[in-house]
Amino acid sequence: MAVPIRIAQLSDTHFLEEGASPEGGGSYDTAEAYESVLAHLGDHADMDMVVVTGDVADHGRPEQYRKAAAAFARLQAPVNICPGNHDFDHAFQAGVGRPGVATSRVVEIDNWAFLFVDSNAGMMSVDDRGLHIDPPGQERLHNNGNLGSREAAWIAQMCEATLAEHVFVWLHHPPDVPVPASHSEAYANEWRDLLARYSIIRGLGGGHTHIPDEYEIAERPVFVAPSLKHNFSLEPQTWLPPGYRTYEFSPDGLITSAVHLVDDERWPRKPFGRALKSLFMGEITYDQLAEIAARRGL
Ligand SMILES: [Fe+2]
């Protein structure tokens, strides 16, 4: 009997150094959340792979990757990672690798090819040595997805070159995501173009919004994983515990996935107010939300 490929997905782990403050505030203790998720995952030695879809580190600092890599190295299954908008390129590339913890761009298992796409690639600058580097300042941190022609061409080449029958894309930014604050129409159009050309792409898995979800773009499923930093439901309007996703990829091209949330009194499913909802809806900015929180003494 044909056996499906089994994969667990972590996303938005936002590791911090000891004593550091989280970017933007309002965070769970991500080291504690990771321990809970790892315990909930249990012994997953029989998993084919664990993927981490970016925002590995909260500020993209070297010490945060050291902590993240040590944490990922404890997983029994091989781990493969793609970067998020918090993962400043040089620190990420230099710091996150360990034996069993990789940043491979393509992983083939049975008749599936898994592409690990950099959904920040289109915002990179080229320096005077021809290296692709992060743009100056905090620009990367506020990216909502941007493939650029180079990354889009790479995806096209991989779809054409692979001998696998099915392709699945792992990436940080889910395209055409139904959360206005995290949505970029230009980025969604980059994906609509690729999905129209490559029917071999069966689906995509990402993170970024911290709002677990499943929806479609161009008749392909898009799965959004929970975060470990903080996590929300828009309907009903509540906080959610940290968690992860699991997947099964069948030889016939079908994908099933489930969200797993680690309920605990440390992260109750409490309701959130209008200001945070307005942020998700793109009606106010992060700075305006911070002003409102400061005014209310939160
Ligand atoms: Fe994130």
Predicted pLDDT at 26: 78
Predicted pLDDT at 43: 78
Predicted pLDDT at 66: 97
Predicted pLDDT at 152: 98
- CA 129 to ligand 1 center in whole angstroms: 31
Listed in sequence order, the residues at least 6 apart from 296 whose beta carbon sits closer than 8 Å to its beta carbon are: none
Listed in sequence order, the residues at least 6 apart from 282 whose beta carbon sits closer than 8 Å to its beta carbon are: 180, 181, 183
Per residue, what are the HEC states of 231-257?
Answer: EEEECCEEEECCEEEEEEECCCCCEEE
- CA 164 to ligand 1 center in whole angstroms: 31
- CA 154 to ligand 1 center in whole angstroms: 25
Cα–Cα dist 212/257, whole Å: 12
- CA 200 to ligand 1 center in whole angstroms: 28
Taking only the tens of pLDDT, the chain with its 298 residues reads 689 999 999 999 999 998 899 888 778 999 999 999 999 998 777 899 999 999 999 999 999 999 999 999 999 999 999 999 999 999 999 999 999 999 999 999 999 999 999 999 999 999 999 999 999 888 998 899 999 999 999 999 999 999 999 999 999 999 999 999 999 999 999 999 999 999 999 999 999 999 999 999 999 999 999 999 999 999 999 999 999 999 999 999 999 999 999 999 999 999 998 888 999 999 998 888 888 888 887 6
- CA 232 to ligand 1 center in whole angstroms: 12
> What does each C-alpha distance from 174 to 23, 146, 199, 270, 290 come to in angstroms?
21, 11, 18, 26, 25
- CA 73 to ligand 1 center in whole angstroms: 21
Q: Which of 149, 222, 152, 154 is nearest to 182 (CA)?
A: 222
Q: Which residues are bridge partners to 115 per DSSP? A: 106, 169
- CA 128 to ligand 1 center in whole angstroms: 31
Listed in sequence order, the residues at least 6 apart from 184 whose beta carbon sits closer than 8 Å to its beta carbon are: 144, 145, 146, 173
- CA 226 to ligand 1 center in whole angstroms: 10
- CA 111 to ligand 1 center in whole angstroms: 31
- CA 1 to ligand 1 center in whole angstroms: 39
> What does each C-alpha distance from 278 to 24, 175, 270, 282 come to in angstroms?
16, 21, 17, 6
